[in-house]
Structure 1
Amino acid sequence: MSDSAAPLRMGTVAGRGTLLAAVVASGMVFLDATVVNVALPHLGSELHASTAGLQWTLNGYLLTLAAFVLLGGALGDRLGRRRIFVFGVLAFCAASVLCGAAQSIEWLIAARFLQGLGGALLTPGSLALLQSSFHPDERGRVIGAWSGLAGVSTALGPFLGGWLIDALSWRFIFFLNLPLAVVVLIAAYRWTPESRAEGAASRRFDVAGSLLGALGLAGITYALVEAQQLGPGSVQVVVAAVLGVVASVGFVLLERGRGERAMLPPTLFGSRLFSVLNLYTVLIYAALSGLTFFFSVYLQNVVGYSALMTGLATLPLTIWLLIGSARSGALAARIGPRPQLSIGPLIAAAGLLLLHGISRGDSYWTDILPGIALFGLGMTLVVAPLTASVLAAAPDRLAGAASGLNNAASRVGGLLAVSALPLVVGLSGGGYERSGQLTPAYRAAVLWSAGLMVLGAILAMVLVHRPGREPRKSRPCPALPPPPTHLHEPDQDADRSRVEQHRS
């Protein structure tokens, strides 16, 4: 429930200021999830990083972001959403300074862990503030504006990052967050009202669940990454793998034992469709992350592109998502999600196959653009229907938790892909700098990513319900660049019901 006297409206200064704070803050998190891919060859060369070092530069961020995003939302519900949101922005900004000032790859990795933690605190708060602060009649419009504007940062990330890297240094992709954070803090303190969830103060934090989940992800990720350097049979790798598996099993058992008080209530998994869709999310986003990790490095170290040209080369993917996601969501609302969840990955896989054989001297317009365009079209068909289907498969009162879990599933997919694919395709040490080793690794990784897309398509064809077979009606949901993140708030259910009654 908001502490403000009256709900905000889009047409007011306070409404626009609150939206500005949420959009720019979320944009920083999305930006730093994409822009670093373009910088990998440069920071690897300057900091003398191995392939494992580059992996941890991405994975450190994804790991803490995925592991603590639900806890971040719970803290906001209890202690104040604006308070935790602002704290997350400050933490993210401080970690960005540490990233930009890094003098070694170990320093950079540690700072990226802290940056992901800051993102986990501010990301759920950005949507929760909009949901709790605005009038129920305008929430759909506001969240739609948030998704579109935040998506612009995802689209601009590779281009802006490439320009900064070529013109200045890779360090400025992190320093860019400083002026953005100032904008967020001014808008948040001046216009954003404080809010809390009713009854949240009486609920206990699921700290043990968060820590077990993080430990499980960290152990498995460490084992996959370090197996390339130390060997799969080394003591460190085996211990980390066992610890990761035991922690993951402990997390599942703990959450089941806590019932509805758990961070992930077991009721969510009472729907087979909900479980299938989250497995589908892991597969699709693993394929996406596998491509982006290898593609940016391959274009620069083998094809000969600059950082700026690499950013421009990948721009069609995000442009597709920006212009097509809303239309894709509307189409799925009319015909059901199954056709797009089945066809989209196959189109994306076809695009990957077109990118498989590119090499130095190839024309961008005839050899690279068609593959990127097809891949972007396939992802555009998938993203909005997937988000809406996940929420439709969960009970209304757990819509926030369902959305948060699906966001975590997308991060986990990316985490596992960046951890496992270099091991699977035989890329280790400084191999990313040598064309003879990087070329076969890139081509194998593209085929693996295409295979994950095809597997996702089969999963949708076989297990996703046809329209009319699902016992609950599907609700439209705004399409977001990655799946959205916000925690369940008890007072939102009544608001959602009033909105539905108003629409009917």
Structure 2
Amino acid sequence: MNPRRVTRPWLAISALCTGLFMILLDNTIVNIAVPSMMSDLGTGLDQILWIVNGYTLAYAVPLILAGRLGDRFGRKRLYVVGLVVFTLASALCGLSDTGGELIAARAAQGVGGALMTPQTLAFITVLFPPEKRGAAFGAWSGVAGVSTIAGPLLGGLIVEKLSWEWIFFVNVPVGVIGLVLALLVVPESRNASTQRLDPLGIVLVSTGLFAVIYALQEGSHYDWGVIAGPLSVPVLLVAGVVLVAAFLLVQQRSPEPMVPLTLSADRNFSIANVVATAVGFGMVALLPVTLFLQDVLGLSALECGLVTAPASVCAAMIAPFAGFRADRTGGKYLLVTGLLAFCAGIGGSALLAAPNMRVWLIVPAVIVLGVAMGLLFSTMTTVALRDVRPELSGAASAVFNTTRQLGQALGTAAVGALLQAALRTSTHREAATAAESLPVSVREQFVDSFTAVSADSPARTVDAPAGLPTSLSAQWHQLGVGVFGHGFVTAMRWTLLLPIALLLIAAACSFGLRRTRKASRTVSPDTARLTETSHRPAE
């Protein structure tokens, strides 16, 4: 084995983070290109939404299996396979001529990303001793945080200057570079004691996660009712939960479980997963803020990305420091501080929001959100995985990423449904008041137009119907803009109370963290195999 592959773990992590940046960026960058896709591909909104949701579904469901496959067949091997799949799928996305082709290519992207993600975290536990993992997790989390928030900015820039296809084409050269780096500087690693896979466990966990995430993603589309025949959203959701519960029961009896139950016995790992779920849920709170910037203040996608850019900068700067401090302090108070800062950033955005406000006034709240993400992503990852044995790293990182994805799926469903319901109530009330200045003959029509108001398509209710006199049409439009703006701000404030409450619960749970024990001097067989040419794995 080449000694430099062992004594330069930071070079290996840098190579792995190249792929990580791509797959997490594609979680958010596509949202900006939706209008352009609809126009060029001639598809409806339902099909376009599956371009977004299909990726999330294909990414989240196989994570646990991907972690297990990495442990069994080699983490580098799985990462390389996933990177090749993701890069080829990105090229196919850009070459797609129909909505169906793009949905299929996006699903392939999601599968490739799922194969890669658990391996990136698992490698940190293999390449670094416990007392030095915090800084590495900080670098990983900095990349994750920046890629999540940078999506709107990069997406807006690419769509405005080039075309939507290029949000996928740019992945190809990056993927090729990442592949070369991975082959050259990342060592192979696997758990030699892993002998077989669990077919029943694979079926139960994959089917269960698919049912839960699909129900949460598509619930609002079916009005949380019937999907087809006897199958409804509640039935699918309950079935998914039952299947996941059955998977956990099977794991208790399995001699070689996909998810070792010893992980749940680790209090810090369990609490970190609670925090990850809350953070995933809280990230969805950025959606109402983004809609406010675009639909109420009238910012373009690129301008919206520029407003949120300070959060990316703050997260990138703070994450490595937070991971380093988590190694020294255990991470309890860093997590609590990050969660409270997240609440402050969300709450500040809601309180500062107002129609016709100067957009720069919301930037301080955005900066607080960036600070929170810098503290949270690295610290919760360090707390979850620092003391995990290398042979369990694949399973642990897969579970950790899965809980964060479930939190995001739950947040998407809950925040979306609550925002829509609150928006209809608040705009109806605002419309009833504003209609008093209109002629009696159109007052009822004006109020009724806000019955089906949509958070992402205000023009349907703000614009006056055809046939009205010019002066009355202008008055209708002016009143409609005011009604939607004030109604949206009110709805956003009520909606954001939900993620704030969950983040506060996670902060309370964080006080239960145990101080991280000092690293054991015992070297696992997996680490020993990687470090056979070097006495110190991380310099």
Contact 1:304 1:360 in 2 (8 A): no
Match of 1:484 in 2: none
Between Structure 1 and Structure 2, how many residues are aligned? 478
2:254 to 251, 258, 277: 258
Corresponding residue for residue 416 of structure 1: 410
1:486 alignment partner in structure 2: none
Q: Are residues 198 and 374 of structure 1, via their aligned partners in 2, closer, same or farther at CA, if it must alter by over 3 Å? A: closer
Residue of structure 2 equivalent to 1:8: 5
| Contact 2:209 2:244 (8 Å CA) reproduced | yes
The Cα offsets for residues 148-171 of structure 1, whole Å up to 9 and x where unpaired, read as 567665564432221101112222
2:385 aligned with 1:391: yes
Alpha-carbon deviations, 1:121-154, whole Å to 9, x = none?
1233445567767999998877766665676655
CA distance in 2, matches of 1:446, 1:494: 54
Q: Which residue of 2 aligns with 1:220?
A: 212
Is residue 282 of structure 1 aligned with residue 274 of structure 2? no
Write the distance in 1 (CA, Å) between the matches of 2:124 and 2:307. 34
Match of 2:87 among 93, 97, 117: 93
- Counterpart of 1:318 (choices 312, 317, 325) is 312
Partner SS, residue 33 of structure 1: coil
Change beyond 3 A, Cα 1:401–1:242 = closer
In structure 1, list runs of 5 or more residues that go unmatched. 477-488
**Which secondary structure does the structure 1 equivalent of 2:220 belong to?**
helix
2-structure distance, mates of 1:429, 1:45: 22
What residue is the counterpart of 2:24 in the other structure?
A: 30
Aligned equivalent of 2:356: 361
Task: Determine the C-alpha separation between the residues in 2 that align with 1:136 and 1:272.
Answer: 17
Bigger Cα displacement from structure 2, 24-33 vs 151-160: 151-160
What is aligned with 2:448? Answer: none
Q: Tell me which residue corresponds to 1:434.
A: 458
Structure 1 residues 148 and 434, CA gap change in structure 2 (3 angstroms): closer
Match of 2:236 among 236, 240, 243: 240
CA displacement at 1:217 relative to structure 2: 2.5
Residue 454 of structure 1 corresponds to 501
Change (3 A) 1:297 1:92: farther
* d(CA) in 1 for partners of 2:509, 2:136: 36
**Contact persistence 2:86–2:111 (CA under 8 A):** yes
**Shift of residue 26, structure 1, vs aligned partner:** 1.8
CA drift of 1:330 comes to: 4.0
Q: State the alpha-carbon separation in 2 of the partners of residues 64 and 174 from structure 1.
A: 17
CA distance in structure 1 between the aligned counterparts of 2:133 and 2:327, rounded to whole angstroms: 19
Deviations 1:181-232 (A, max 9, x none): 222233344x2466242525x5112344344223222222333344333333
Cα distance change, pair 388–187 in 1 and its aligned pair in 2 (3 A): closer
Q: CA 1:398 to 1:224, structure 2 compared with 1: closer, same or farther past 3 Å? A: closer
Aligned to 1:195: 188
Match of 1:230 in 2: 222
1:72 to 66, 71, 84: 66
Q: Give, in angstroms, the shift of residue 79 of structure 1.
A: 3.2
Does the aligned pair in 1 maintain the 2:319–2:377 contact within 8 Å? Answer: yes
Describe how 1:97-496 pairs up with structure 2 within 5 A.
97-126=91-120, 153-154=147-148, 156-189=150-183, 191-192=184-185, 195-199=188-192, 203-234=195-226, 235-238=230-233, 239-258=235-254, 261-288=256-283, 290-356=284-350, 358=353, 361-366=356-361, 368-391=362-385, 398-426=392-420, 432-434=456-458, 440=487, 444=491, 447-462=494-509, 464-465=511-512, 470=514, 473=517, 491-492=526-527
Q: 1:465 to 1:148 in 2, by over 3 A?
A: closer
In our comparison, the structure showing a higher alpha carbon Rg is: 2
Say if 1:7 and 1:209 are closer, same or farther in 2 by CA, change over 3 A: farther
- State the 1:305 CA deviation: 1.5
Moved more, 152-161 or 315-324: 152-161
Write the distance in 2 (CA, Å) between the matches of 1:284 and 1:455.
Answer: 9
Deviates further, 276-285 or 433-442: 433-442
**3-state SS of paired residue (2:264):** helix
Which range is displaced more, 88-97 or 430-439? 430-439
CA contact (8 A) 1:347 1:374 kept: yes
Shift of 1:91: 1.1
Displacement, 1:32? 1.1
Residues 308, 224 of structure 1: CA spacing in aligned structure 2 closer, same or farther, 3 A cutoff? same
RMSD: 4.1
Q: Helix, strand or coil: the match of 1:229?
A: coil
Q: Deviations over 1:369-402 (max 9, x none)?
A: 0221122223333233222222357567635533
Cα pair 1:345 1:454 within 8 Å, conserved: no
* In structure 2, distance between residues paired with 1:167 and 1:301: 22
How much has 1:349 moved relative to structure 2? 1.9
Tell me if structure 2 keeps the 8 A contact 1:337–1:385.
yes
Secondary structure in structure 2 of the residue aligned to 1:433 = coil
Seq. identity, % = 31
Q: What is the letter of the counterpart of residue 274 of structure 1? A: F
| SS at 1:455 equivalent | helix
